[in-house]
Amino acid sequence: MKYCPKCGRELTTRPEGGRDRLACPACPYVYFGDFSIGVGGVVIRDGRALLIRRGQEPRRGWWQIPGGYVEHDEEFDRAVVREVFEEAGVHTRVVDVLGLRNSVGAPSTNVYVVFRLEPLSGEPTCDGDEITGAGYFSLDALETMEKVQSLSKWAIRAALVDRPGFRHVAEADLIRPGYVLYGLDGAG
């Protein structure tokens, strides 16, 4: 990045937040880096977990829980419902958050939020291009399958334990547009 996306001035380097960062000399803009947020959904029906098989690189042919990137103007719990439907054709509802993964490196730093979802309707389908397989699999079947993503295995095991994860917090003083909080019940 060479120019300020807010005012167009050429960026310079200055100390900000304990390290040198690209910043605009004319406005308050500071470049904090490239980040992305991903989401994945564990959907359990009749003791079986929903998996999709990737049809494109990276990891073409690998099985994983459905998921993808959160758009810049999208709440992450809505993104996971959208991604599960787009990739597997299953309508769902968020139950809770099972875990978070942080991955530092190229092409950008990524935070990945793993949700537990309840299936509402629809049968697993795939488009044959981006996704080349979709279905519900038992834990026993999953253990014998080749090319199953380790994070997906962990997430499915965590969902099957059936302990509550972080739940949506909807306290009146925390509700505002674009603000979503998941945490422990009664944590305040």
* Contact (CB, 8 A) for 156 and 42: yes
For tokens 């537990």, the residue is 116
Same domain, 19 and 94: no
Residue 92, pLDDT > 90, answer yes
Q: Which domain holds residue 90?
A: 35-162
Q: Residue 173 has what pLDDT?
A: 75
Task: Give the per-residue pLDDT at 170.
Answer: 82
Which pLDDT does position 186 carry in this prediction?
A: 62
**pLDDT of amino acid 44:** 98
> For residue 94, what is the domain's CATH number?
3.90.79.10
Question: Where is pLDDT greater, at 110 or 177?
Answer: 110
Query: Per the domain annotation, does 76 fall within a domain?
Result: yes
- Which has more pLDDT, 41 or 109? 41
Whether 6 maps to a domain, the answer reads: yes
Examine the pLDDT at 73 and tell me if it is beyond 80: yes
14 and 39 both lie in a single domain: no
Q: What's the pLDDT at 188? A: 47
| Burial state string for 8-20 with b = 16 or more CB within 10 A and e = fewer than 16 | eeebeeeeeeeee
How many Å apart are CA 60 and CA 77, to the nearest integer?
26
